[in-house]
A and B are shown apart, each in its own frame.
Chain A
Amino acid sequence: ETGVTQSPTHLIKTRGQQVTLRCSSQSGHNTVSWYQQALGQGPQFIFQYYREEENGRGNFPPRFSGLQFPNYSSELNVNALELDDSALYLCASSLRGRYEQYFGPGTRLTVT
């Protein structure tokens, strides 16, 4: 069974740029959630995708957007990067109807 994978591992971007982060869900899992974790804080929910549609969204502005593909993999896109977007971005997969979520290793984004 393959776990959740994410790419890239690390990324450095400049303020105002755009970034795309990628996630492959755990084998058999059809739901993907994205979280942002700032240093010293717990992860904060960004949004969730199921059947290629956004299925719930946290308190993040529209410049945070996503996609889910037929194979359940997902992308997180962030436009007009701000310094405060520097964080660990975590993808989690789950089975529809189950509350347990399993996390990938994350992408550490630094915005300068």
Chain B
Amino acid sequence: RKEVEQDPGPFNVPEGATVAFNCTYSNSASQSFFWYRQDCRKEPKLLMSVYSSGNEDGRFTAQLNRASQYISLLIRDSKLSDSATYLCVVNTGRRALTFGSGTRLQVQP
């Protein structure tokens, strides 16, 4: 079983739609959680950290459920520029970030 699992998509949504991505992780000792965004053939960029209380940054909302070992990302009012791969990332307190394989989002006009 993969340490971090994501639905690969693609999610094809119209501009203005709300879309949600989910992710599960297997290591209950995981301590820190992130969403990264990766455009085609580019490096991953930190989108937001995910806190137990949930957090919001503009159109983006992230939630963490430690009991279910589940992380979510909600994007409201989708823009064409949101088209990318979204990577769910977990840190277990070791040195490494553990990445999911990513969920592809395509926002269509």
Contacts and interface: CB of A to CB of B under 8 A. Distances in A.
Contacts of A42: 4, 87, 99-102
B96 A48 contact: yes
A99 B31 contact: yes
12 contacts: A33-B97, A42-B100, A43-B44, A43-B87, A45-B95, A48-B96, A56-B94, A58-B96, A99-B32, A100-B34, A101-B46, A106-B43
A103 B44 contact: yes
Contacts of A48: 95-96
Interface string A77-91: 000000000001010
Main SS class of interface, B: strand
Interface residues of A, number: 24
A104 B95 contact: no
Interface string A44-84: 11001000000110100000000000000000000000000
Interface in A28-52: 33, 35, 40-45, 48
Given A99-B91, A102-B46, A33 B96 contact: yes
Nearest to A58: B96
Nearest to A99: B32
Contacts of B100: 42
Interface in B33-79: 34, 41-46, 49
B96 to A, nearest CB: 4
A42 B103 CA distance: 10
Given A35-B97, A43-B99, 5 more contacts: A43-B97, A45-B95, A48-B96, A103-B45, A105-B43
B98 interface: yes
Contacts of B101: 40-42
Contacts of B87: 42-43
Contacts of B98: 45
B9 to A, nearest CB: 12
